[in-house]
Each structure stands twice: as C-alpha cells, then as structure tokens.
Structure 1
Amino acid sequence: MNGLQGTLLAVLLSLVSTAGYALAAVAQSRLASSTHGGSGALRALLARGQWWSSVGLNAAGALAHVAALHYGPLTLVQPLGALTLVAALPLGAHYARRRVTRAEWRGALWTLAGLVGLISVTGPATPGDALSPREALVVAAVTALLIAALASGGRRRPGRGRGLGHATASGIASGVGSALTQTLTAALARELPGGPAAWWQTALIAVLISAFAVGGLLLSQTAYRGGLAAPLAVVNLSNPAAAAVIGVALLGETFRAGVWGWLVAAAASAVAARGVVLLTTGPGALPVPPNAPSPSPVVASGQPLPLPRTDEATTVPAASPATAPAAVVG
C-alpha cells in the first residue's frame, strides 16, 4: 500500500470513528433524558439495550481510531476526530425534532477551531517515554481524587453547570486512561523505563485502565443530562488537555514549535472556551425520545399540586368576578 492509499484509508477510518463516537453520544444523551438519578439508576441503565448499543458504538469508534493511526499520521487523524462534535450536533437536533440554531453552529465551529489548534501543537515532536509503574499509580490516585472533586461539585450545581463538571471529569478519565494504556503496552513489551515491571504492577495498571474507561463512560452519561453539545465539547477538550499535562509534567514533552506552540495552545484554549460558552448559553434542549408527551404547564415546575383538606369546610366566601378563582374542570 502506497502513501496515498494509506492516507485515504486513514481518513476513511477517522470518519468511521467520528460517526461511531457521534452516534454513541446522541444515544447516551437520549438515554439521559429518559432516566433519572438514584440508587437504582445504574441498574436501570444496564438493563437498557440502547445503553449497550452506545457502549458498542464507543468501542467501534475507538477501534477505528486506533486503526486510522496505524495507516495515517497523528497530525491528520487527531484533528479529524474533533469532527465528532460537528456530527453529533445535527444528529441530536434531528432526534429532538428541532433545527440546529445559528448560535449552536457558531459555538461548534469555535470549539472545533480551538480543538484543532490545541491538538496541532500538543504531543511530542519525538515519541515520548511511557510512565513508570510508580508514576502511573501516582497519576491514577491524583486523577481519582480530582474526578471525585469534580463529580461532587457537579452535584451541587443545577442544570448545565452540573453537566459540564461531569463532562470535565469524563474527559480527564479518558485522557489518563490513554496515558496508562501507553504504560501497559510498554510493560507488556518489557520496554518500561527503569526495567520490566512486576506482574502485579502490570495487572494493577490494566485494572486501572478498565476503571477509568468505565468511569469515563458513566460520567459522560451523567453529563448529558445537562445537554448534548456543551458536555460533548468539554469531553473532547479535557481529554487531550489531560494527556498534555501528563506529557509535559512527567514525560519531558513540550508543545511543538517551542514558545510559539505555547502561545498557540493558549489562544486555541481561549477560542475553544468561547465555543463552549456559546453552546452552553444556546437552547441546550435535550434530545427526547420520539413522540414524547409534552409536560403539563401546571406541573412543569416539578411541585405537586396541593390537595384540599377534608377536615375544613368546603364553602368559600363569595368573591367578585374579578377575583374569583377559575374553576378547575375535573
């Protein structure tokens, strides 16, 4: 296979990966609009076929992404993966039976531009080393504490603020999981810095990768209760950001192009943040199941209707026509 054929195959696989991730996000968002929190939420979620479909779509997207990296360069595949947000936005609006607003398109394009700019300068100019087993365990412990803080803080925020907190935690979990996967691969190939890892260290890293993968998926499911576009944008931004922090802090990596790379990364982050703000302040309607009934305006506030007391007289003083209460039709 020549270079042109490999590039075309990488582009095709990247688009397949993008479609898989976008469909999975829409499926999770629709599930979030029809499920509620509580002790039995996870059990109810696992009993839904739509949930397992979203898991399969996420897995298919990940496999297609890995295959695309095999045939094409990272500088081509990673920006194409950022198209997930652009693909998910019209899909979510279609299932919600509404149109994508101009504000949402502007927010998506701003976020996409910032994400592509951030990806273009992140990652090492030369391949970096993997984390040592000790570093991997420290990173996992710190990340677990950070995710717990974000998740608990999100519970105290209503609506969209809660969704963005869980989305940030989900993206961080996925980014750290990717870094640990690199360590696991090096451990299995016996190419870790400092010598081979003990068997229990390799097994523990594998367990941590599984925990972060499952945790990231469940956190994104919770995040989509606050909408689709803004949480998805935050997930896609916090994932490479977490990986970049690990690379710069522990692997000796730096942004490409030196000082200019840092400036580009800062500008791209500001552009992406502008996009997220536009998506957050937009309509933000949750995708709802087709033919879902509209909530009654009487009970839309979520407060129960007051019931009459039977121990009181039912007669009321006569009132003028201007102040008489409207009759309630049984």
Structure 2
Amino acid sequence: MNATLVAVVLSLVSAVAYAAAAVAQERLAARSSGRGVLRLLGRAAWWLSVALNASGAVLHVIALAYGPLTLVQPLGALTLVAAVPMGAWLAGRRVSAVEWRGTAFTLLGLAALLITASGPAPDDVLSGSEALLVAGTAALLIGTLAWPGSRPGLRHATASGIASGVGSALTQTVTVAATDRSGPPIGIEVIGVALLVAAFATGGLLLSQSAYRGGLGAPLALVTVANPAAAAVIGLSLLGERLRGGGAGTVPALAGAALASWGVVLLSRAARPGPSPAPFPAEPEPEPEPEPASVPRQPHPGPGHLTPW
C-alpha cells in the first residue's frame, strides 16, 4: 500500500478517536457538573476517554512515520468535524446551522495557519535548557489561564491546547534522542524532558475535561487551534522554522487566525442542548441505608378486653 495512503488512513482514524474521546469527556462533564475533576478518576467513562486519547496519539505518531507533517497535521483538524455531529447524534438532536458555520470558519482559519507555517523543516530540536525554558513559560501561562474567574471553559480549553502543543514539541526532543543511535545514551536530561511530557499530557487532559463543562464545540475548537499555534511559536522562536513566503506569510497567517477566532465565537454562541441520555451507562450512586421504622406501641389489653387469636 502507498505510504501516503497509509498516513491518510491512520490520520483519519486518529481524528475519529480524538473526536470520540472529546465527546465522551463532554458527556461525562455534563453528568458531573459541580464535582471536582479528580473525582472522575473513579469513573469507567473517564478511563475510556483516556484510552481513546492515547489511541489517537499513537496513531498520529505512526502516521508521521508514513507521511510528512504538512499532510498529517492538517488532517488532525478533522477531529472537530467528527466531534460536533457525533456529539449532536448522541444527544439526539441535529447540528445547528450556527455550529456548521462555526466549524467551517474554524477549519478554514486553521488550514490557513497550517499552510502558512508549513515551511522548511526545523534545523534542530529543543536542547535541555530550551526545554526547561519552554516548560516554565508554558506552566506560568497555563496557570494564569486556569486561575478561577469568568468563562473558565474557554480559558481552560486554551490552556489545554497550549499544554498539548508544548508536549508535542518536547516529545520531538525525546524521540530524536531515543532514536539517535550515533549519539550518547539516554541520560538524566532526556528522562527529565520525558517527565515534563507526561506532566503536560496529564495537565492537558484534565484541563480539557474541565473545559467541556460548558459544551463541546467552542472548547474543542480552541483546543484544536491553540495546539498547533503553541507548537508554531516554539518552532519559529527556537527551532529555526520560518513562515512560508517570509514576511508576506504574516498576512495569510493573521487572516487564518481571524477566521478561526470567528469560528470559535460562533460555536460559543450555539445554544447548548438540554440534558439527554448519556452514551455510557450511568454509575449508580450509593444509597443511604434506610432507618428502622418505629413500631407504634400497642395498648395493653385490660382485664375485660378479649384478644382475638
């Protein structure tokens, strides 16, 4: 089979897995409104979403082995295309015209950003000091976005996308070090970067779970946009990547950012449907033990009272 076709098929399956995970997280968040995110760790539906996310990530990495980044990365945006109708179908409703328009604008803007940023390959990967700088800066930004305040869903979605983008850049450092047979063996520095990857991956997953309390469309769109945007900032500032067309590439990049932003606005305006049956069986809550009923005291029969047998 043609390598490009394999990359396309793997990317499509990866997008469906990511979409199913997002829908599962959103439905779980809707059923667990007002509860802490960490309390979801005991739910089977939560671990199903984790497994779907992990499957999507593995398929994405395998797809990159068969096709170029400029092909595989844009196909990842199909997660949004699959998740919006999938979530509507599970909720027993139709996708609204506003949701379709918001999805279309977001995908058009994201495509413009990805095409513009698809320039030459990076000259190198992040060094140990650069990885620490990126991790520290990203942690500070994520902490600011996750701080309690208004519109936590959109802020947490942005923070989740940043965490995923930073995790991807750090993963590249670990992957190159692990596959480079000519270099020195894996040392403490690479192990530390691998631990940072695990921390950002876990944080991104928890932040997305919190973001989906406000619905699916707008938070998922922000995650989809913030992820490659964060990776692009790292590539442009530290890895020697350049915009396609040089300075002229800034214009379509800004236009793409404006289109994607308008798509997120439209998705955030879409009315969230009312509660509907969950796609996973509800886990029964423990019922309190009933208190013993008090038995009314019967009067003692008097001497002239006949007691029936």
Q: CA deviation at 1:98?
A: 1.6
Deviations 1:73-103 (A, max 9, x none): 2222222111111110011111222211101
Q: What secondary structure is seen at the aligned counterpart in 2 of 1:131?
A: coil
Q: Distance in 1 between matches of 2:222 and 2:112?
A: 15
Q: Which structure 2 residues correspond to residues 111-130 of structure 1 after superposition, within 5 A?
A: 111-130=106-125
Counterpart of 2:131 in structure 1 is 136
Counterpart of 2:149 in structure 1 is 156
Counterpart of 1:205 in structure 2 is 193
Counterpart of 2:40 in structure 1 is 45
Q: Distance in 1 between matches of 2:209 and 2:119?
A: 31
Compared with structure 1, are the counterparts of its residues 252 and 191 closer, same or farther at alpha carbon in structure 2 (3 Å cutoff)? farther
Q: CA deviation at 1:191?
A: 8.7
Deviations 1:79-130 (A, max 9, x none): 2111111110011111222211101100000001111111112244133310
- Aligned match of 1:277 in 261, 265, 273? 265
Q: Distance in 2 between matches of 1:9 and 1:248?
A: 29
The answer (yes or no) to whether the contact 2:122–2:235 under 8 Å persists in 1 is no
Q: CA deviation at 1:290?
A: 3.8
Counterpart of 1:73 in structure 2 is 68
The answer (yes or no) to whether the contact 1:227–1:286 under 8 Å persists in 2 is no
- Letter of the aligned partner of 2:243 in structure 1? F
Counterpart of 1:21 in structure 2 is 18
Counterpart of 1:310 in structure 2 is none
Q: What secondary structure is seen at the aligned counterpart in 1 of 2:146?
A: helix
Deviations 1:151-191 (A, max 9, x none): 00xx211xxx2111000000000000011111112333459
> Is 1:54 matched up with 2:44?
no
Counterpart of 1:31 in structure 2 is 28
> Is 1:10 matched up with 2:16?
no
Counterpart of 1:250 in structure 2 is 238
The answer (yes or no) to whether the contact 2:37–2:206 under 8 Å persists in 1 is no
- Letter of the aligned partner of 2:246 in structure 1? G
Q: Distance in 2 between matches of 1:244 and 1:136?
A: 15
> Is 1:179 matched up with 2:169?
yes
Q: What secondary structure is seen at the aligned counterpart in 2 of 1:285?
A: coil
Q: What secondary structure is seen at the aligned counterpart in 2 of 1:209?
A: helix
Larger Rg: 2
The answer (yes or no) to whether the contact 2:16–2:82 under 8 Å persists in 1 is yes
- Letter of the aligned partner of 2:61 in structure 1? V
Deviations 1:213-264 (A, max 9, x none): 0000000000000110000000000000001111111112111121232211
- Aligned match of 2:141 in 141, 146, 160? 146
The Cα RMSD (Å) is: 2.2
Q: Distance in 1 between matches of 2:225 and 2:275?
A: 22
- Letter of the aligned partner of 1:177 in structure 2? G
The answer (yes or no) to whether the contact 2:70–2:118 under 8 Å persists in 1 is no
The answer (yes or no) to whether the contact 2:27–2:279 under 8 Å persists in 1 is no
- Letter of the aligned partner of 1:97 in structure 2? G
Structure 1's unaligned 5+ residue stretches are: 293-330
Q: CA deviation at 1:27?
A: 0.1
Deviations 1:14-53 (A, max 9, x none): 1101110000000000010011345x541x3111111111
Q: How many residues align?
A: 280
The answer (yes or no) to whether the contact 1:93–1:287 under 8 Å persists in 2 is no
- Letter of the aligned partner of 1:178 in structure 2? S
Q: Distance in 1 between matches of 2:249 and 2:139?
A: 29
Counterpart of 2:298 in structure 1 is none
Counterpart of 2:218 in structure 1 is 230
TM-score, structure 2 normalization:
0.85
